[in-house]
Structure 1
């Protein structure tokens, strides 16, 4: 299993203000679903930040997202080790397959793969 990218998720109701603030650092909006917006660096597209009010289909907003090349394998590994699954593996309408797991420090990690 390989990691493709890691994105910090900022929970905030100030999406417009965040877009403007991070724009000062060179980030541009690359995705906006209304409840989550992702900003990326044009010169290094994998450098990203997401801002979300709440997660649309999960009980909590994740602290970070980790995109992997095989989300099913990642899910199997986490379950086998007894990690706390916060949100079950499922396909989302916006084209990702994902689950949430709690890390040892209590952070919620959104582990995903694009379909």
Structure 2
């Protein structure tokens, strides 16, 4: 796959803007879009009272951030991150099975 740079599509460099400012602006716009999407998702989760889903998501994000920081400091080629992602997904799978079993036992 051919590598395509943003500045080849946007010829704003001819006007006098630096490419880094264009990337910064695109990053801020994407963060703003993600903010509104995640905000509406979290409001929906809170209204539906899916506490376990919200706790699982936030704790998974913390674990990913911590492990990514450790991988950047140590530099062991993302081996710890692979194990962390596998354990997060296994925990989520087991948590959903436990919730389903509890739901069927109660009803």
Q: Same fold (TM over 0.5)?
A: no
Larger radius of gyration: 2
> Whose helix proportion is higher, 1 or 2?
2
Task: Flag the structure with more relative contact order, 1 or 2, with Cα contacts below 8 A and sequence separation at least 6.
Answer: 1
> Whose strand proportion is higher, 1 or 2?
1
